[in-house]
A and B are shown apart, each in its own frame.
Chain A
Amino acid sequence: MNSIYKIEKSTHLGSVRTFLKAFLKTEKDRSLLIPVRSPHNNTVMPTLVTDPDLLDQADPFSPAFPLNSAKLVSKLTRKGSGEPMAAFLRPCELRAFVELVKIKQATWDNLIIISSDCAGAFSNSVFREKAANEKEAFTQTFLDKRLGSNLTDTMDDSIATACTICTRPFPENADITVGLFYPGGKGISLKGTSEKGAKILAAMSLEPAAPEENEKEKSALIASRKTREKEVFQEVATQTGNLPDLANYLSDCINCYNCRVACPVCFCKECVFNTDVVDYEPFQYQGWARARGGLKMPTDTLFFHITRMIHMGLSCVGCGQCSNACPNDIPLAELFKLVGEKAQKGFSYTSGTDVNEAPPLSVFMENEFKDVTGLS
């Protein structure tokens, strides 16, 4: 189960494409969901691939991160189709997927998840601006800069904030783990990190490799990320310490709910904010305006955001898609991650870790949290 293999070509993309083609040829019946470059322009979108030749356009290392694919895998596996498939996910997408499996919005049966060390991503607008001309070559430029600096080079602050404060950039429970921190060259390492994954790799006649010795670099990276995260959290906390300040922080919100749509763990088919609960009668608005002398519209901005924190905070994986989706550039990712992590800590829970761990609000115990009750 712990065998390690390697593939070394002249570029990282070359290496991973060689592997993916061999993977799809060995696993003939499987389809593979993976970011693929459009032949027409500079977009990289998740694509369900069945023809191995299409993998010449696969680009799982591009800093393009248009959406969190966990939602797509949920769509593909929510009801068993009987068709085996595989998906190439970023570590944060994998964590979101684990959360969705727990709440029965996805299944891991018949599915192989391949995940790689993550060099981070750009927001959609930054990606369009910075990576427009070079197309595929940009991915290698990006990896050279990022991997060459142990992920500290932020490429003139192009990296999304969520990625600069990500403390879990290495896949934790994939079936096949792709290592980008392969010492030297532009190769990748491959490790079967589940029984299913190891079996597939063993059947693929790959070149074996020695175990990587990069624990020191990895822990140095995590330590610096944690420091950065703390700084960002402190700043957010001082900006949102009370309700009026929070209202200021969110003052550009136009209630478009894009953050909710982009959020991989906001899964309700019918969100309460689309229901009659917030569909007030015209006279109610007039009443509130009269009572206060004025009424900011649209209303319910704080109600929406805090409710979302309560609903998905315990599952927040810090992928940053909420910030990416906001048309008014409200820095939501750091706020939701800060609140989410505090909430998770209260229940000694870490999102996206273990499919068998129950979400905190789905269980209860007789003798627990005694400090929550009473007047002291």
Chain B
Amino acid sequence: MENFEPTIIAFVCNWCTYTAADLAGTSRKKYPENVRLIKVMCTGMVDPKYVLKAFLQGADAVLVSGCHPGDCHYINGNYKARRRIKLLHNVLGNFGIDRKRLRLTWIGASDGIEFAETINTMVREIKVEGPLHTDLKQVI
């Protein structure tokens, strides 16, 4: 358990959080390699199935991150995402996937430092939580 390295899947929006991740890189801000970024055009297009599939395929945590309220490139995609994540919290919470494992954050394009800190915090927390045992034979 001491050497547990969590896998975190992050769905980040093209306009804000992905740009922030880029900025973190160009600013030489280090963050753990546990995170796998998946660029989407908007958090509003993150189907709950994507999140669920990530967990069932072995992710220990999932991050969905996009523009601050009011800043969405598509006007209101992030509000829709917020309702979907709320629903996912309510459903997945029944099966041992608590809110620490599914995060929704707003990280703007200029927040490179905040992006690096978010990943740092999540990795630290999930290391404490331990692995989510889903890499069973039953589950795909």
Contacts and interface: CB of A to CB of B under 8 A. Distances in A.
A369 B83 contact: yes
A366 interface: yes
Contacts, number: 126
Interface string A291-302: 011111001111
A366 B139 contact: no
Interface string B122-140: 1000000000111111111
B49 interface: yes
Given A310-B48, A310-B52, A375 B122 contact: yes
A372 B103 CA distance: 8
Given A243-B96, A306-B52, A310-B52, A373 B137 contact: no
A364 B76 contact: yes
Interface residues of A, number: 47
A288 B140 CA distance: 8
Interface residues of B, number: 43
B126 to A, nearest CB: 12
Interface string A225-255: 0000000000001001111111100010000
B82 A364 contact: yes
A339 B86 contact: no
Interface string B71-109: 000001001101111111111111111000001111000
A272 interface: yes
B36 to A, nearest CB: 17
Interface string B26-53: 0000000000000000000000110011
By secondary structure, the A interface counts as helix
Interface in A259-312: 272, 277, 288, 292-296, 299-303, 306-307, 309-310
A231 B137 CA distance: 32
B104 A372 contact: yes
B8 to A, nearest CB: 13
Contacts of B122: 375
By secondary structure, the B interface counts as helix
Contact of B85 (A237, A309, A372): A372
Given A243-B133, A364-B83, A375 B105 contact: yes
B94 A338 contact: yes
A342 B90 contact: yes
Given A251-B138, A342-B90, A364-B82, A243 B97 contact: yes
B25 interface: no
B91 A309 contact: yes
Contact of B82 (A299, A309, A373): A373
B94 A310 contact: no
B56 A302 contact: yes
Interface of A: 237, 240-247, 251, 272, 277, 288, 292-296, 299-303, 306-307, 309-310, 313-314, 338-339, 342-343, 345-347, 360-361, 364-366, 368-369, 372-375
The 4 closest A-B pairs by CB, nearest first: A242-B96, A364-B79, A299-B140, A346-B90
7 contacts: A243-B56, A244-B136, A296-B137, A306-B92, A342-B93, A343-B90, A345-B90
Given A243-B133, A288-B140, A296-B137, 20 more contacts: A240-B94, A243-B96, A245-B95, A295-B137, A296-B138, A301-B139, A303-B49, A303-B53, A303-B56, A307-B52, A310-B87, A339-B94, A342-B93, A342-B94, A346-B86, A347-B83, A366-B69, A368-B82, A372-B85, A373-B105
